[in-house]
Structure 1
Amino acid sequence: MMNYLKLPLGLLAIFTTLFFVSCSDDEDDAPTKTDFGTAPSTSLITTGVVQVRTEDTVRYHTIDFASAPYTVTIVETADALILVDLGPAPDFAVELEAYVSAIDKPGSVIITHNHGDHFGGAGSFSDLDFYAELTVAEQLNSTEDFTSLHPNKVIGVTGSQTIGGLDFTFDKVSNAETGENGYCYNEKYQLLFSGDLVYNLSHPYLREYTPNLGEDEIDNWLAGLAVLKSKFSNYSHLFVGHNGSRTDVAKAIDENIAYLNDAQGLIKGTKLTSEGTTATTQQQVIDELQLLYPTYTEGGLFLSLPEAFFPGDPGADWF
């Protein structure tokens, strides 16, 4: 025989109300999920590789164009999308524009730094607002290669800015991979967009390293990476300028620190080649780095060689 708890009618009403309020609160606290539908067809990108990662309320598209590779990241929310960097060339941008159009949401653009392989596709997105760290924005707005593609002013950001409904904080490392390396991050989703401060299993661009001119750019770069590691090791996603993304942020940063220490040592003569000699030419440094990192993608390494940019180009000023 089952025993029933007998409650006065007043207490029973209070109990019933509390029960339903509690259930309602549980439902409010439950994570929401966005129905993003099917991602655009990867066949839209014939000159690269697309990877899509869908989480509860955000979807990430990373597109690696060509062999370098040049990476464009798209952050998609329920109502908007943000493109981080745009690749190097208009022919890539045509495909990127088709992919973005297939998502069919209002968009914005973030440019990490003033290198053509990160803004070359700007002409295909002239109707969107562009953002960059303040100093980087000033550089872009005064660079003819950029302004000829995108006549509208890039919005310079100091600190934080809401873009596409997400809050991004902007910062930079000066005189490292280039004069001003911007990066940005989103705290809510723990996203770090490192631009070219961090390469993913890819040979970095060392062309602007000039150790004989006083300030050591690799020292600055290493110091910047130390800051990134201390602040973002526990973040969920790292999106880089070359070769996709990582979820093991600290390991990716450590890999770049190891690489830069090796490159700096070879160039400054404190690290010998595998043959036991001191490198004295750009080609010897590059050959050794390829031996040390045989699985790394092309990156910008070969742009340090003579003739890389124009006839008579002396190559990187390393020695």
Structure 2
Amino acid sequence: MTTLRQPAAGPAKEGSGAHTPLRLRRPRPASRRDTALFWFAVPGLVALLLFHYIPLLGNIIAFQDYQPYIGILHSPWSGLDNFDVIFNGDDQFLRALSNTLQLTLIQVVFVFPVPIVLALALNSLVSERIKRWVQNVLYLPHFLSWVVIVALFQQMLGQTGLLNLFLRAQDLGTWNIIGNPDLFKVLLTSQVIWKDAGWGTILFLAALSRVDNDLYEASAMDGASRWRQTWHVTLPALRGLVVLLLILRLGDALSVGFEQILLQQTAVGLDNSEVLDTYVFNNGVVGGQWGVAAAVGLVKGVVGVLLVLGANKTAHLFGEEGVYRS
């Protein structure tokens, strides 16, 4: 009786039904995986370092009697003498501070809510074609420089502008808006709204696009009107973004449009138009008081940081994330 020998098991052939263990590829280290992203970020980091962080060292001239022709290294130290305009209440500085705070309050109350209202109005449009057309029209002024915008307003509302030409043609006299000190803050506010309100709607529209439509359908089935849906569904979805942008706005509260105001100062005078940024320019670059200008700018920056920290802490107390988590 012969015994049949079984053939030795060889390598499994393709299609034979035999299963071979899969070899899992080890993930690459995060440092190697993100190398390309790092190199893309390098130009931005270099620009941030060169134009934002290294210039911070120049704040040392706030404690010097700085003279440009001898430089920082050889300018004599003056201690806190440059801060006298702040601590002792220089009239010109106090006037600039008052105008800055007034414009900040006006822009927070009247300018900040406008993009929210525009975003809600655009989000309610049914036709996507009309919505895109309106968005393009609203975004366009943002890409114009303040030089162009101020020139447009002067051509429309100036002493020889279209409005006064029409009023003269109708024997109704003239209305001086551009050169009226009492209307200057209203004019600035209207210019800011016209230029940046449309651009500010981008973030709010992005937040609204993430709201689940099931929430609107459920609220409609419960008998909620459009106003109730906006109040209980839409606005809560925007609350975190509104808090974040408001905190960032407070950090920049003491900067209220340097170029915009500087272009229109001669029409209304310094008493009604001087703000902290123009005060620094007029006293530092124009007046040669570099140390005083640097001291005012340094204090403005410190106040901005404190406002951000305080507002962020307040946001945490109300259950919002804010800019960062502590």
TM over 0.5: no
Q: For the superposition of Structure 1 and Structure 2, which TM-score range results when normalised by the shorter chain?
A: under 0.3
Larger Rg: 2
Structure with greater strand share of residues = 1
Relative contact order higher in (CA < 8 Å, ≥ 6 apart): 2
Q: Which has the higher helix share?
A: 2
TM-score by length of 2: 0.22
Query: TM-score with structure 1 length normalisation?
Result: 0.23
